Structure 1
Amino acid sequence: MTTATLDRPRVNTPEPFAPRPRPAQPAHVIRDDAEAVSVARRLAAEFGSESALRDRDGLLPLAELDAYSQSGLWGITVPKAYGGAGVSFATLADVIRIVAEGDSSIAQITQNHLALVGHIDLDGTPEQKEELFGLVLKGIRFGNAFSEKNSKNVAAFETTLVFDGDDVVINGQKFYTTGALLSHIVPIVAVDPVEGKGYVAFAERDAPGLTVHNDWSSFGQRTTASGSIQIANVRVPRSRLLPVAAFDRPTAAGAISQIIQAAIDAGIAAAAIAETIAFVRTRSRPWIDSGKETAAEDPFIISAIGDLTLRLHAAEALLERAGRAIDRALADPEESLVNAATVATAEAKVLTTEVAINASNKLFELAGTRSTLAEHNLDRHWRNARVHTLHDPVRWKYYHLGNYQLNGVHVPRHAWS
């Protein structure tokens, strides 16, 4: 990856941003779980080398994202029947966790793409699966135009579509559009105002009337470019219109979306703990009352590192457990198995949230004042954890988990549960 900064596009700038070119060569096709994990480890090491620089200078990860999607990792959940590896969702969680440890913004850019691959499998026709899965395996990236900034809640969509011959025409505004700026196709969630049904329309990134703004200004996950979109009479062929139906019946769609979010948080925690250990070993001074020669011999620091590591490993174990539960629910989408997957994923999300925030906060307590210097940019881990864990408030997960255990009430099935 290049270290040049002067000619690289930045986040939150007013300049128009042209759609990214489609890949000149088809992406690599990963064949099995082991290869997926191996590729993720290689890329995470590459992404991690300049993650602090990209965050500090607000550099969009253009070359990194191309390498990521061309590696084949964006297609690992495409079913084997359509040419993909069809990896376990435990493997997917591990892959995202590994990539997020290298750069959590890059890992988040994948989130909606992978969730959409799951939706295509659950709601698409055989013809749509053949086309869209084929595009994914070639290296085409899906962005998203789902959430809306001013609607009543996250599931109250005001973007509408009307049917017009072989097309639909869409109008609306979107925000939190992670991945859209750098995508090749922008799936838009819109509602038919006549029947009230929701759809996902797969629009070309350069479709007339579709304007993606590079206006993401959050203090964390800065280089996800999760800005806004204006949709003015955008036409999409009906053949690329999928119903949002997976939540109307028992499916693992919600758990699939959530396990990716949880894996990102686990990766942030792992990166924060690794940075803490490295800083304590090489830069921190022992406290005056410890009587030790190095900070790494301080018994309180040693104990705290042990506690953080234990909690991270517990979170990772719950991630793997949730992935196996999702696999079972996909194989047999029976109500109890789907609920078990949703519960297991919610438990993982609670623990990954807690360890990400705790580890990125403890970093400074354990590493000391010099760790706060701007030259290290270690605060990016706390900023990333604080922002990304807001995606789905865990206070409601505690409630749903307790309500299921105490009263037998199944956890709601949607993308935020």
Structure 2
Amino acid sequence: MTSYLDLQASKAHQTSFNLAKAHIIQSDEEALEIAQALAEQFKAEAIKRDAERVLPFDEIEAYSQSGLWAITVPRQYGGAEVSSLTVAKIIALMSGVDGSIGQIPQNHFYALEVLRNTGSESQKQHLYAEVLKGARFGNALAEFKTKNSTQKHTLLSKNEQGYVVNGEKFYCTGSLFAHRIPTLVKDEQNREFLVFIPRESEGLEVVDDWSGFGQKTTGSGTVKFNQVQVAEDDIIPFDKAFSEPTLVGPFAQIMHAAIEVGIARAAFEETLVRIRQARPWIDSGVDHATQDPLTIYELGRIGADVRASEVLLKQAARSIDTAKPTPNAENIARASIDVAKVRAHSTQTALKASSKLIELAGSRGSQRRDGLDRFWRNARVHTLHDASRWKYYFIGNYVLNGTLPPRRGTL
């Protein structure tokens, strides 16, 4: 297969809309095949990128030019419209290779799901066409200076030329690599909108100040808006995505679950390699670590949990795809609960698998050159996205009392 990484390396820092060469994927099978080939390429420098915080401009360019960032575009607009399971598999695959690369397109797909549900026909035609050419969407959703995550101070206001955006966002994953930065704003009537703002807009500043100890190269820094002029056709209703039954919430969350499932699987596979290289514990009475009964016991526990998370991920994806043709309050709730199950389970599994990797590798597992700690650091930082303890609460309240879970991107 042609190396997209080699073909696109010279375009690594492209941020304009001069996009005309992206491959267009036609099917789920093709998407998975291309993802597998790219994952092998991305794996080569993963330890170095993490250790030295080398931002993956080349890799993300190759990723989007391969066509994989357009796989959720509906067929009627020229896309493959792959299943939720295929999206989850690809994100898990990439996350196992590099947790940051696995997370970067999550908000891109999230913005496309908002567009699918609440965008106008003209907005869909225009933005889908850009994505099919290779455009990447970042995000500017969260704010750091409010009392809680639901409060937003970034404002959309009218002026003589149309509309302007003013405010500041944090945790803006992928914005360093984006052509557009979908931004959550409120207007004078307190309605919420998602504005697809071109990256090079005057008054828009992207600050590379993300300093997390994990997910180090996601580009999750600050984005500032100072009188940024926006076109009316780039403003899409956001509040309707949750006031009405849509799949925006569960689709967003299954991608987060896939990141953790991918990290867990990769950590487990690396554990197998490291145990075969390790020495047995002195009291085990065996010659090889692969014969150590307590090592085998711990490995079995991890393997069972990893597989359980993968099965829950598959079940959740099928629930989303089942609800997609005719979404309603009931099937959206079922999908949300199924996604909550895998999201809660994958949080614990990713943390356990990545920690046990270092434990079972022994003292050798602490060597910086091997970068084994990146699995745990990536899992720990990503799992802070939202609390698994609340997911268990909503699951319990649903199965016991029939209480439908809230509609939002954190469930």
| TM-score, length-scaled by structure 2 | 0.95
* Pair 1:264-2:255 in alignment: no
- Residues 98-142 of structure 1: CA distance to partner in whole angstroms, max 9, x if unpaired? 111111101111010001111110000111000011111110000
- Residues 184-204 of structure 1: CA distance to partner in whole angstroms, max 9, x if unpaired? 111111100x21100111111
* Corresponding position of 2:336: 342
* Corresponding position of 1:221: 215
* Corresponding position of 1:12: none
* Pair 1:130-2:125 in alignment: yes
* Corresponding position of 1:315: 309
- Residues 216-255 of structure 1: CA distance to partner in whole angstroms, max 9, x if unpaired? 0000000101000111000110011001111011111100
Q: Which amino acid letter does the alignment assign opposite residue 202 of structure 2? A: P
* Corresponding position of 1:237: 231
Question: For the residues of structure 1 that align with 2:190 and 2:14, how far apart are their CA atoms?
Answer: 32
* Corresponding position of 1:34: 29
Question: For the residues of structure 2 that align with 1:163 and 1:112, how far apart are their CA atoms?
Answer: 27
Q: What SS does the corresponding residue of 1:247 show, helix, strand or coil? A: helix
Aligned residues: 403
Q: What SS does the corresponding residue of 2:176 show, helix, strand or coil? A: coil
Stretch deviating more after TM superposition (21-30 or 312-321): 21-30
* Corresponding position of 1:286: 280
Question: For the residues of structure 1 that align with 2:13 and 2:228, how far apart are their CA atoms?
Answer: 17
* Corresponding position of 2:206: 212
By how many angstroms is 1:24 displaced? 5.2
Question: For the residues of structure 2 that align with 1:24 and 1:328, how far apart are their CA atoms?
Answer: 34
1:145/1:189 contact within 8 Å kept: yes
Q: What SS does the corresponding residue of 1:81 show, helix, strand or coil? A: helix
By how many angstroms is 1:395 displaced? 0.7
Question: For the residues of structure 1 that align with 2:319 and 2:390, how far apart are their CA atoms?
Answer: 21
Question: For the residues of structure 1 that align with 2:161 and 2:242, how far apart are their CA atoms?
Answer: 26
Question: For the residues of structure 2 that align with 1:239 and 1:393, how far apart are their CA atoms?
Answer: 35
Matches within 5 A, 1:68-217: 68-165=63-160, 167-192=162-187, 194-217=188-211
Question: For the residues of structure 1 that align with 2:117 and 2:328, how far apart are their CA atoms?
Answer: 14
By how many angstroms is 1:335 displaced? 1.0
Q: What SS does the corresponding residue of 1:101 show, helix, strand or coil? A: helix
* Corresponding position of 1:14: none
By how many angstroms is 1:21 displaced? 4.6
Question: For the residues of structure 2 that align with 1:53 and 1:26, how far apart are their CA atoms?
Answer: 29
Q: Which amino acid letter does the alignment assign opposite residue 87 of structure 1? A: V
Question: For the residues of structure 2 that align with 1:126 and 1:22, how far apart are their CA atoms?
Answer: 21
| TM-score, length-scaled by structure 1 | 0.94
Match of 1:247 among 217, 242, 251: 242
1:44/1:100 contact within 8 Å kept: no
By how many angstroms is 1:22 displaced? 4.7
Change (3 A) 1:62 1:22: farther
1:19/1:181 contact within 8 Å kept: no
Q: What SS does the corresponding residue of 2:246 show, helix, strand or coil? A: coil
* Pair 1:56-2:51 in alignment: yes
Q: Which amino acid letter does the alignment assign opposite residue 304 of structure 2? A: L
Q: Which runs of 5+ in 1 are unaligned?
A: 9-16
Q: Which runs of 5+ in 2 are unaligned?
A: none
Question: For the residues of structure 2 that align with 1:325 and 1:23, how far apart are their CA atoms?
Answer: 38
Q: Which amino acid letter does the alignment assign opposite residue 375 of structure 1? A: R
Stretch deviating more after TM superposition (166-175 or 246-255): 166-175
Q: What SS does the corresponding residue of 1:331 show, helix, strand or coil? A: coil
Q: Which amino acid letter does the alignment assign opposite residue 182 of structure 1? A: F
Question: For the residues of structure 2 that align with 1:44 and 1:270, how far apart are their CA atoms?
Answer: 14
* Identity over aligned pairs, percent: 43
Question: For the residues of structure 2 that align with 1:149 and 1:83, how far apart are their CA atoms?
Answer: 38
By how many angstroms is 1:167 displaced? 2.8
